[in-house]
Structure 1
Amino acid sequence: MTPLAQLWSEVTGAAFDEEAVAITGAETVLPGPFRVALAAGTAVAATTMAAASLLQARGREPGTVRVDLAHAAEAFRSERHLRVDGAPLPMWGPLSGDYAAADGWVRLHANYPHHAEAIAAALGVAADKEAVADAVAGRAAEEVEYDVVAAGGAAAAMRGRTQWQAHAQGKALRAEPLIMIDRVADAAPRRLDHASWPLTGVKVLDLTHVIAGPVCGRVLAAHGADVLHVSAANRPTVRPLVVDTGFGKRSVHLDLSTESGAEQLRELVRGADVFLQSYRPGALARLGFGMEELAALRPGIIGVDLSAYGHTGPWASRRGFDSLVQMSCGIAAEGAVAAGADEPTPLPAQALDHGTGWLAAFAVISVLQRRGLLGGSWQVRLSLARTALWLDQLGRIDVAPTGSPDLTGLLADVDSAFGTVTHVRVPGSLPGAPAFYRHGPHLPGSDDPNW
């Protein structure tokens, strides 16, 4: 059984129709031992097939889904191709990077000011790259990881694959499905009316940040959903990612620590179909927006929870990012061996983020169709680390480094409040209702909080 057929049957419970999809191109479009292009093509194909199935249920013939591996692969690193008025945007904070420790390597993530402050506090040095490097060099990698995380920062020591498999969190992940889907409350079936697009009329609240969750919202918007991104004015952001993942969405600022802000969000929930969030576990529940409260506010809602390291195990509440998970679970170490390098070698894309985002979109579209037949309120859960395990289980391919990718026909320009934005087009062809971004990214907080 192909990875796509297995994924399709596990999530939808339906038989896989090989005639409904055509995947073209070679996996060799990306370098390295991991089958990133296959993972990208599989996730894009599953999502587009789910959109096709829902489109057919809404009265429109979808046609044969087609996925080009090169296009899917470049979409999995869309932030690399982002340009505003022809110029790239800086992605990483000054302290972010891999550091040599006394017994190995550790990666520090400092794209947010409070994470940079945590690194400096944990190491007892100024927030200066050279000072941090000197401090890390005299300590064990796992000690640095522990101290930075304990201080409220984000860090990961480089572990080998075998080491991760023996780790308590690695063991916990193997007991979790790739995509966890649970019916959490009863609700009447809510069928979607006839429409020209798979997600016409579907309302999505997107309370996510960085890449995985925002990519999910971006994909849903491309298939016709009304996606409203909700953040706080005082919350730090990574500007290139705000631009890259903002296509097709509106953006509002709400302060959930105030009763007025919380009530505005509750009112939005009452009209929503999907509630997408990537806050640390329990954070929104403490504000009154846990799954139980969401289902009470809006029977039939689909809650989507994304995390870094999984939803069970000792690291379930640990903050993390794609680059850190690659370090923790053995990807960076294996990449270094394959490349003959003396330092961590990551994937050629932030595939754990993008993969999790696309898989979440696949799950949402599938559950929307299930809800129309069976009713219910549903919870969907995924994590970057579980996506990493899925990638690991796809096997290996020997691909040497290549030159610049062929981007012919893959990029487009759109005017926005940020300027003219160059971006990767939506991968996956759905002839009956081609996916596209209905507008460019909006400035954070520039829209009204209503449907």
Structure 2
Amino acid sequence: MGSVIEESVAGLLGDVGIAAVPLEVTGKAGLPSVFRVDVMAGASVGAATAAAARLWQARGGPAARASIDLGHVGMAFVSERLFKVAGSELDLWADLSGDYATGDGGWVRLHCNFDHHRDAVLRALLTAPTRDSVAAACGLMPAVAVEEAVLAAGGAAGALRTRSPWAGFPHGPLVRLTRTGEGPVVPLAPAARPLEGVRVLDLTRVIAGPVATRTLAAHGAQVLRIGAAHVPEVPGLVLDMGFGKRSCHLDLRSAEGRAALRELAATADVLIQGYRPGALSGLGFGRDDLKALNPSLVTVDVSAYEPEGPWAGRRGFDSLVQMTTGIAEEGMRFAGSDRPVPLPCQGLDHATGYLGAFAAISGLVHRAESGGSWHGSVSLAGTARWLDSLGRVTPGAGQDPDDDLIAAVNTPHGVLSFVLPPGTASGLLPSWDLAPAIDGSALPVWI
């Protein structure tokens, strides 16, 4: 498996024009699935770690090399399940979230973790807010009809499909990184960590985007997360994804909020956003707007569905993308189950997050060598396509967590137990300087 991961990382580096970095792969895989989840996990963490090592070398650090332990990577891919607040695990799913049998013998997954998505489901299905009522309503409709009704109502849903329909959709590269404009060469000063002094704006939530920015923070970046009081969050998940970050609130519906974000973006190095396509453009923060504001900015878009595909603007989450792209259907058939069988983790989320970090760091490498503004994009569905391409295996056994890779910190939220960040860049272990902040507690300024 190590050689497959090494080849995958070499290919990813080559795809974005970054010189090869030696990678050592150790440890035993621990994410059992018919899909090669361990390869996906190892390669995505390995790519981000290798890029960090390459950037560090470019700014006067040691010769680039990287290493990953697959057991540690596996724990990182279930970090939200191992995370504890005052000894208690997170409650990750709302009562109405889950898989429902449909009237045509199919299945649909409803995502109700946000109140407005739950309310959209209830409007679309004309039903009461109980699981039995929602199940009864789904049982009267075909799966795709439920999906379409919920999406039309402003909600998030995914009908179970085989892999064939998705295979026929147009698609782009797994990680897209392009030079979008001219700008000066921006070499970074010598530093004790790969991303020390790099300013990152985090306009993401849930898992994939926050994993990307959490990874940048672990390699030394200063990350400022931009949220808003009116934007819903999954409370415990915000904590697990909040290590290494400060948190401020800006209402981008207001002129004051937009002015503050423009001021931050003008002096940022990286901006990672997880809004649906077009949402930021409508607020004056599209790609061209940001390029004019800061010709040396590296931007990365994290989306559910591939930007080139017909579902580019569709709401989506990992669990839904597993349904729509055929992953849950193939898992169901392999296991001989009568209901969808997902991956053993939110693997599309986590892998896409590390790939987003990889894109951002690669953009910084290019900026330091040839200047310009750089734009990257990654998607959950693109990651699903990559996972599908890696082939199939007979699932092995899972691995028990290694307590040595779990740390604890006392915070205003209580004692938080968390998985340490994986990967080693040129002999340096990544680490977070900051415990999760109180949401919205920071001023919208760089420090």
Q: Name 1:21's counterpart in structure 2.
A: 23
What's the C-alpha RMSD, in Å, of the aligned pairs?
1.3
User: Cα deviations across residues 92-134 of structure 1 (Å, max 9, x unaligned)?
Assistant: 1111000000120000000000000000000011122110000
Distance in 2 (CA, whole Å) between partners of 1:318 and 1:329 is: 14
Cross-structure match for 2:227 = 231
Return the letter of the residue paired with 1:235. V
Tell me, yes or no, if the aligned pair for 1:204 and 1:274 is still in contact at 8 Å.
Answer: yes
Separation of aligned partners in 2, 1:221 and 1:342? 42
Query: Of the candidates 282, 296, 307, which is equivalent to residue 292 of structure 2?
Result: 296
Deviations 1:207-242 (A, max 9, x none): 001100000000000001000000111111001210
Residues 62 and 433, structure 1, Cα contact 8 Å, conserved in 2: no
Q: Which residue in the other structure is 2:196 paired with?
A: 200
Q: Which amino acid aligns with 1:9?
A: G
Aligned to 1:184: 180
Q: Which residue of 1 aligns with 2:238?
A: 242
**1:5 matched to which residue of 2?**
10
* 8 Å Cα contact 2:50-2:64 kept in structure 1: no
Distance 1:401 1:137 in 2: 35
Q: Is the 8 A contact 2:162 2:326 kept in 1?
A: yes
- Give the superposition deviation at 1:356: 0.6
Show the counterpart of 1:172: 170
SS across alignment from 1:409: helix
Structure 2 counterpart of 1:221, from 217, 221, 240: 217
C-alpha separation between the residues in 1 aligned to 2:427 and 2:332? 44
User: What whole-Å deviation, never above 9, does each CA across 1:239-274 have from its counterpart, x for those lacking one?
Assistant: 121001000000000111111111111111111011
Separation (CA, whole Å) in 2 of partners of 1:407 and 1:398? 24
Change (3 A) 1:127 1:412: same
After superposition, the Cα gap between the structure-2 partners of 1:400 and 1:24, relative to the gap in structure 1 and judged at 3 Å, is: closer
Looking at structure 1, the residues matched to 125 and 253 of structure 2 have their Cα atoms a distance apart, in angstroms, of 32
Describe the shift of the 1:64–1:370 C-alpha distance in structure 2 as closer, same or farther (beyond 3 A): closer
Moved over 4 A (4+): none
Structure 1 counterpart of 2:143, from 137, 141, 144: 141
- Cα displacement (A) at 1:297: 1.0
**Per-residue CA shift, 1:322-372, capped at 9, x if unaligned?**
000000000001111121211000000111110010001111111101011
Give the deviation of 1:430 after TM superposition.
Answer: 2.6
Indicate the residue corresponding to 2:437 in structure 1.
442
Aligned counterparts of 1:159 and 1:225: Cα–Cα separation in 2: 40
What is residue 370 of structure 2 aligned with on the other side?
374
Kindly state the Cα deviation for residue 63 of structure 1 after the two structures are TM-superposed: 6.5
What's the secondary structure of 2:403's corresponding residue?
Answer: coil
Instruction: Report the Cα distance in structure 2 between the residues aligned to 1:62 and 1:200, rounded to whole angstroms.
Output: 17
| 1:384-433 C-alpha deviation (Å, 9 max, x unpaired) | 0000001111111111454x623232211112221111111010123543
Identity of aligned residues (%): 49
- The residue that corresponds to 1:433 in the other structure is 428
> What is the CA-CA distance between 1:42 and the residue it aligns to?
0.9
Aligned positions of 1:265-276 closer than 5 A: 265-276=261-272
Q: Which residue is equivalent to 2:39?
A: 38
Q: Are the aligned partners of 1:3 and 1:394 in contact in 2 as well (CA < 8 Å)?
A: no
> Contact between 1:32 and 1:339, CA under 8 Å: does it hold in 2?
no
Kept in 1: contact 2:54–2:64 (CA 8 A): no
Q: Is the 8 A contact 2:31 2:344 kept in 1?
A: yes
Alignment of 1:51-62 (within 5 A): 51-61=52-62
* Matches of 1:233 and 1:434, distance apart in 2: 35
Secondary structure of 1:12 counterpart: coil
Matched, 1:324 2:320: yes
CA distance in 2, matches of 1:203, 1:124: 47
Gaps of 5+ in 2: none
Aligned length: 440
Tell me by how many angstroms 1:148 deviates. Answer: 0.4
Are residues 194 and 315 of structure 1, via their aligned partners in 2, closer, same or farther at CA, if it must alter by over 3 Å?
same
How far apart are the structure 2 equivalents of 1:165 and 1:42?
A: 22
Once the two structures are superposed, residues 181-211 of structure 1 have per-residue CA deviations (whole angstroms, 9 ceiling, x without a partner) of: 1211111111111111111111000000110
TM-score, length-scaled by structure 1: 0.95
| Counterpart Cα distance in 2 of 1:66 and 1:37 | 15
| 1:25 CA displacement | 2.3
Does the CA-based 8 Å contact 2:9-2:46 persist in structure 1? yes
Give me the TM-score of the superposition, normalised by structure 2. 0.96
Asked whether 1:154 is paired with 2:156, we answer yes
Say if 1:37 and 1:70, in contact at 8 Å, map to a contact too.
no
Q: Alignment partner of 2:16: what SS?
A: helix
Contact 1:119–1:127 (Cα < 8 Å) also in 2:
no
Q: What one-letter code is carried by the residue in structure 2 that aligns with 1:407? A: D
Q: Please name the residue that 1:89 is paired with.
A: 90
**8 Å CA contact 1:247, 1:441 repeated in 2:** yes
Which amino acid in the other structure matches residue 100 of structure 1?
A
Name the aligned partner's letter for residue 128 of structure 1: T
